[in-house]
Amino acid sequence: MSTTVAPPVGPARTRRPSGGLFRLSTASGIGLGLSLVWFSILVLLPLSAVVGAAAAGGWTAFAGTLTDPQTFAALRLTVVEALLVTVVNAVIGTIVAWVLVRDDFVGKRLLDVVIDIPFALPTIVAGLVLLSLYGPESPVGFNIVNTREGIFLALLFVTLPFVVRTVQPVLMEIEVEAEEAAASLGASRFTTFRRVILPSLVPAITAGSSLGFARAISEFGSLVLISGNTPYQTEVASLKILKFLEGDNQAGAAAVAVLLLLVAVVVIVALDIISRRVARRG
């Protein structure tokens, strides 16, 4: 093929010029100020206060708390369980969203509403709900109280809606035509899913997973009833914090809190990086 055919040249979309950061209008100035004050009162100052409390005892006390075998076991259990739950949610949540968007079946509307229940329930009620079916008087013969599987189940229950609810709207926006184009280019359904649909969903899956993970490492209410709180076995970080507070060890509680904060930040940033990589690679 030669290239004598000259096409019309249309203007490409250009980016907005940057550099207007310090030239805010009055309205956006007030908006920005309000946001910052709000954010500071609610988030930044309390967080700083916790970090301050953790640092009050000095580095040795901080490190001592975290390296204490029992505390460390609680932290490890929390993070590992949360990570497992996040992986399961990313897969199952995407499938549930897919079913809700792409398939038609009786009771679809109902399922769509029910998905939010774990999110709307007070978590202690979530614990109660699970206990009534999988507790000591379980009608189906499963007793998950005081087991790690129980913690896993409780975390899955309370984090279920996150990935579903973030993926669902994105899936609805995806053009069916892009899939048809892939098919006519020879892509199998699986290849189309992997190379065309999934990359568009990854940012949403990541966002939902981040929320779910953050929720999982901080879960308290449902675990109070289910975990049994046995040191080294089923004690999670949030309950460990409660124990520290009950023992009047403010610095210890703050130290665990700060570490959870760090873990949350690291995981959320890591998920974001993964999401960008995958979305770019296609």
Partner 1 sequence: MSIDITGINKKYGDFVALEDINVSLPTGQLTALLGPSGGGKSTLLRIIAGLDTADSGTINIEGADATRLPPQKRNVGFVFQHYAVFKHMTVAKNVAFGLEIRKRPKAEVAAKVDELLKLVHLSQFAHRLPSQLSGGQRQRLALARALAVEPTVLLLDEPFGALDAKVRKELRDWLRRLHDEVNVTTVFVTHDQEEALEVADEIVVINEGRVEQIGTPDQLYDEPANDFVMSFLGEVTTLNGQLIRPHDVEIAAMPQHGDAVQAVVSRSLRVGFEARVQVLTDNGEEVTVVLTRSHARHLGLEAGQNVWVRAAEGALTVPSLRAV
Question: Using CB under 8 A as the criterion, which residues of the chain lie in contact with partner 1 when the complex forms?
Answer: 1-13, 175, 177-178, 180-188, 191, 195-196, 199-200, 279-280, 282
Rg of the chain in Å (alpha carbons): 24
The distance of closest approach from Cβ of residue 8 to partner 1 in the complex, given in angstroms and rounded to an integer, is 3
Closer Cβ to partner 1, 158 or 196, answer by number: 196
What tokens does 125 get?
């009620």
The distance of closest approach from Cβ of residue 92 to partner 1 in the complex, given in angstroms and rounded to an integer, is 24
Residue 104 CA to residue 281 CA, distance in Å, equals: 32
Closer Cβ to partner 1, 6 or 120, answer by number: 6
Please report, as a single letter, which amino acid is at residue 247.
Answer: G
Residue 230 CA to residue 70 CA, distance in Å, equals: 10
Closer Cβ to partner 1, 143 or 200, answer by number: 200
Closer Cβ to partner 1, 12 or 120, answer by number: 12
Eight-class DSSP state of 141: S
The distance of closest approach from Cβ of residue 202 to partner 1 in the complex, given in angstroms and rounded to an integer, is 9
Return the exposure string of 52-88: e unless at least 16 CB atoms fall within 10 Å of the residue's CB, then b: ebbeebeeebbeebbeeeebeebbebbbebbeebbeb
The distance of closest approach from Cβ of residue 94 to partner 1 in the complex, given in angstroms and rounded to an integer, is 16
The distance of closest approach from Cβ of residue 268 to partner 1 in the complex, given in angstroms and rounded to an integer, is 22
Closer Cβ to partner 1, 83 or 174, answer by number: 174
Residue 275 CA to residue 267 CA, distance in Å, equals: 12
